[in-house]
Amino acid sequence: MSALAERFASAKAEGHAALMGYLPIGYPSVEGSIRAMVAMVEAGVDVVEVGIPYSDPVLDGPIIQRAAEVSLASGTRVADALSAVKAIVAAGAPGVVMSYYNPMLQYGLGAFAADLASAGGSGAITPDLTPDVGQAWIEAAAAENLDHIFLVAPSSTPERLHMTVAASTGFVYATSLMGVTGERSAVGSAAEKLVKRAREAGAPVVCVGLGVSTGKQAAEVAAYADGVIVGSAFVRPLLDATEPEAGIEALKAKVGELAAGVRGQA
């Protein structure tokens, strides 16, 4: 059983969904972002997603884009994300990479998979890659025992939903709504329906992302999903901070709120 599967299993045994936290590598700096990721683990995040900034982020909303722009301007590289994965695993949590396909392709799929595995990573989420055109990545990941995690959306047809579920390992990433990442006042009913459809299609583990930003919302999603994915709400404290230490403390407080939510303590 992989570290990712073990974490989902342990969360389920404890009676709650897993909290997954996303941060882009390189904001406010490479070292600063790694410190923030480790702090998330210490504050209650079960799994950390390390975002690799990209110049054409079709899924990223304005908050994540702002952080990614700073990261790209400072010259952050894929290798920095792998260093973050090592630190996350050392801190006691599974680490996965969330990357658009082009950076992985430029790095070399085989090399990317091998280096991610060497760093202790559990797999990769590929928001702009679908299974029907992703066989090369699926094979590279499988060769290194990495999970290849694909996305489904409320608009996914039954055929595409079944195809994506069949091709995904680790978990299926269910986007709660159509659109880009960002904090929202409500998650909406589409997410629960999508989780139900994914399970009916055979998905053993389904995690919901996009829009979750409060402990109350996390509790709502945790009632029907195996994992609650939070990105923008964790990036914002770092963006709003006047200095790095304040950002870390604000991030830890936000993680605590969301962790309490998934555990039914909000």
Residue 190's pLDDT band (boundaries 50, 70, 90)?
Answer: confident
pLDDT (tens digit per residue) in 217-231: 999 999 999 999 999
Residue 132 CA: distances (Å) to CA of 33, 98, 185? 34, 19, 34
Residue 123: beta bridge partners? 96, 147
pLDDT (tens digit per residue) in 165-178: 999 999 999 997 54
**C-alpha 149 chain-centroid distance:** 10
Residue 266's pLDDT band (boundaries 50, 70, 90)?
Answer: low
The pLDDT value recorded for residue 58 is: 67
The pLDDT value recorded for residue 183 is: 42
Q: Is the pLDDT of residue 111 over 80?
A: yes
Q: Is the pLDDT of residue 181 over 90?
A: no
Which range of 38-52, 180-194, 202-216 scores highest in mean pLDDT? It is 38-52
Q: Is the pLDDT of residue 210 over 90?
A: no
Q: CA–CA separation, 83 vs 70, rounded Å?
A: 19
The pLDDT value recorded for residue 182 is: 41
CATH number for the region 3-8+16-262 comes to: 3.20.20.70
Structural domain spans, the chain: 3-8+16-262
Per the CB < 8 A criterion, the answer to whether 75 and 121 are in contact is no
Cα dihedral 191/195/197/200 (nearest 10): -170
Q: To which H or E segment does residue 73 belong?
A: helix 62-73
All residues at 6 or more sequence positions from 244 whose CB lies less than 8 Å from its CB, including other chains: 28, 32, 35
SS3 253: helix
Amino acid type, 206: V
For 189-203, what is the mean pLDDT?
94
Q: Which residues are catalytic?
A: 49, 60
Per the CB < 8 A criterion, the answer to whether 152 and 175 are in contact is yes
Shortest CA distance to 21 belongs to which of 240, 207, 223? 207
Residue 260's pLDDT band (boundaries 50, 70, 90)?
Answer: very high
Report the chain's mean pLDDT, rounded to a whole number.
93
Per the CB < 8 A criterion, the answer to whether 117 and 94 are in contact is no
Burial class (CB in 10 A: 0-12, 13-18, 19+), 180: middle
The reported pTM is: 0.93
Burial class (CB in 10 A: 0-12, 13-18, 19+), 244: middle
Q: What is the 3-state secondary structure (H, E, C) of 121-181?
A: CCEEECCCCCHHHCHHHHHHHHHCCCEEECEECCCCCHHHHHHHHHHCCCCEEEECCCCCC
